[in-house]
Amino acid sequence: MASPISQKLEEKLVCSICLELFRVPVTLPCGHNFCKCCISDHWQKQERVPTGAEKGYTCPDCRRTFERRPELEKNVTLCSVVEVAQDGEARVSGAERCEVHGRPLELYCEDERRCICCVCTIRQCHQHQRVLFEEERSKKQVGTMANTQHQGNTAAASVLGAGLGAYWLSWLFPIQDSSEGLKSVILSKFTYLRKALEDFQCWTVARIEQEQAAALGRVGEDWSFLKDHLDVLNQYREKAQRLLACPDNRTFLQVPSRLRVTPLTWVLLAPFGKGRDMVDPFPRGDASSARLMDVIGLISAPSTPLLSPDHRNLTFDPKTANKYLELSKGNQKAKHSPSAVCGQQEQGSRFKPWQVLCTQGYSHGHHYWEVKISSHSVILGVTYHGLPREQQQGHKFNIGLDGGSWGLQVREDCYLAWHKGRAEKIQEQLYKNLGVSLDYSKGVLSFYGLGERMQLIYSFHNVFTQPLYPVFWLCEGRAVTLGHRD
């Protein structure tokens, strides 16, 4: 805090016009000092007096008049004193400053009961009773200590006189006992839960190992059964070769009917894994050998995908196709061509995103269809017919963004399974030939890659409540062709 002497010195270094420390102090011929900008503004106002009024330049302090505007020169000595005062003020690092004038708070005004700076002393509080901080603090410390001591003595006397000490002790011990009992109960319950979880973990692991052993046993049985049928097939092959080598037409035409091959009427599923049920691929019966020959024939040509008896021939619905999607080959091929807008007029059922529905919808049973894509950046899936036609904010598609649609996005490096706006990443080999299996009754939607073998990519499990329609999204330059079987 500044001393009374430094405070009086600082008051002498204040400009009487702006009431701040001098900024570029100048001295008038009368000896009074002002800020250069302050006295210049003062004289400029005097120059703007109305015509006919007496003009002149006066000193704001002594009112001395100058006929000509005095030349203002910087008071170097006074400027140095102001700089020293400012440096001393800056060294008071912890001092608070006045919110109005930005000056350090140095005095306490007893009339207004607040801390003030030197400018406040001159402007607002020059007639008030002012004291130093130390004096005011000493008075308040003495009063506060006396008041606190008095209240403490009164409270102690009240507690002891009313017997409240025993009252609080009577509450303290029951609370402690209740807390300990509660902790004991909680610990015992968590111990029981921990033991139950450990038991359930052991049971679950044992059940998985048991089912694994049973599944491996079924695989072994099926493999043995396959080997037996391969032996039978070899016998039929030898007979067929001898028959083909026979030059007698009558003998060739009288071939036994058992050598004729019956058509394939069932689906060969992938082996155990990825959540698919184990199915015996070779039905046992009179025609098992003939069916086995069909299977072996398919296996010998791995480039041909295994077909399903529930194969569906789909067609695109032109009423729903985005205007940039060109449909051809009897509405079995869709291509995204931004350069050629579809000639049909805009309709309410057409998609604003680059999407198209199929005409066919399914509400029961099992269905299977195949799709060939030209490249990645394609989405294929199924949806209820009420899929929004408008584009969703932040997405170029709306397949799989709600609870009524399911989609598989083919990206350059992976797949994304979309449903309810959430995407699950699948790292699998990228296929251009894809198969889609929909078991409506069981609520299973599966996507397969068709290559040398049928590979499950992903399966959705849901309860379907409305007819489902195949739906597709195509990025620019992409094409999708629907599989067709006679």
HSE value, Cβ hemisphere, 13 Å, CA-based, for 367: 20
* Statement to judge: residues 295 and 339 lie in one domain: no
* Statement to judge: residues 336 and 466 lie in one domain: yes
Please name the residues in contact with 91: beta carbons below 8 A apart, sequence gap of 6 or more.
none
Structure tokens at 418: 């979309």
Residue type for position 278: M
Choosing from 118, 133, 148, the residue where a domain stops is 133
CA atoms 230, 233, 237, 239: torsion sign: positive
The angle formed by the CA atoms of residues 343, 347 and 353, to the nearest 5 degrees, is: 85
Closest CA to 361 of 486, 241, 267, 467: 467
Q: Tell me, what CATH number does 397's domain have?
A: 2.60.120.920
Does the residue 184 lie in any domain?
A: no
Buried-exposed string 39-62: b where 16+ CB fall within 10 A, e elsewhere = beeebeeeeeeeeeeeeebebeee
Give the total number of structural domains in the chain: 3
Structure tokens at 226: 């396959």
* Statement to judge: residues 340 and 295 lie in one domain: no
* Statement to judge: residues 340 and 462 lie in one domain: yes
* Statement to judge: residues 470 and 352 lie in one domain: yes
Query: How high is the pLDDT of residue 335?
Result: 94
* Statement to judge: residues 296 and 352 lie in one domain: no
Does the residue 212 lie in any domain?
A: yes
Does the residue 467 lie in any domain?
A: yes
Closest CA to 7 of 117, 98, 123, 136: 117
**CA 332, CA 322: separation in Å to the nearest integer?**
15
DSSP structure class, residue 259: G
* Statement to judge: residues 340 and 458 lie in one domain: yes
Closest CA to 414 of 458, 444, 452: 458
* Statement to judge: residues 476 and 342 lie in one domain: yes
**CA 461, CA 206: separation in Å to the nearest integer?**
26
Please name the residues in contact with 68: beta carbons below 8 A apart, sequence gap of 6 or more.
57
Residue ranges making up the domain that contains 101: 4-133
Q: Tell me, what CATH number does 110's domain have?
A: 3.30.40.10
Structure tokens at 431: 């296929």
Does the residue 139 lie in any domain?
A: no
For residue 431, the SS3 value is coil
Choosing from 82, 109, 133, the residue where a domain stops is 133
Please check whether residue 3 is in contact with residue 133, taking contact to mean a CB–CB distance below 8 angstroms: no
* Statement to judge: residues 383 and 443 lie in one domain: yes
Query: How high is the pLDDT of residue 278?
Result: 37
Residue type for position 171: W
pLDDT in tens, the chain (486 residues): 455 666 677 777 888 888 888 888 998 988 899 999 998 988 888 887 766 566 678 898 888 888 888 888 888 888 888 888 777 665 554 557 777 776 777 788 888 878 887 778 777 776 787 777 777 777 777 777 777 777 777 766 665 555 555 666 667 778 888 888 889 899 999 999 999 999 999 999 999 999 898 888 888 887 887 887 788 788 878 878 877 887 777 666 665 544 544 333 333 443 434 433 433 444 444 444 444 444 344 333 333 344 456 899 999 999 999 999 999 999 999 999 877 675 555 566 899 999 999 999 999 999 999 999 999 999 999 999 999 999 887 889 999 999 999 999 999 999 999 999 999 999 989 999 999 999 999 999 999 999 888 899 999 999 999 999 999 999 999 999 999 887
* Statement to judge: residues 295 and 332 lie in one domain: no
Please name the residues in contact with 432: beta carbons below 8 A apart, sequence gap of 6 or more.
372, 373, 374, 375
Does the residue 334 lie in any domain?
A: yes
Query: How high is the pLDDT of residue 480?
Result: 96
Choosing from 97, 115, 133, the residue where a domain stops is 133
Distance of CA 138 to the CA centre of its chain: 59
Query: How high is the pLDDT of residue 303?
Result: 35
**CA 28, CA 17: separation in Å to the nearest integer?**
14
Does the residue 183 lie in any domain?
A: no
* Statement to judge: residues 291 and 345 lie in one domain: no
Whole-model pTM?
Answer: 0.41
* Statement to judge: residues 69 and 128 lie in one domain: yes
**CA 32, CA 17: separation in Å to the nearest integer?**
12
**CA 320, CA 358: separation in Å to the nearest integer?**
8
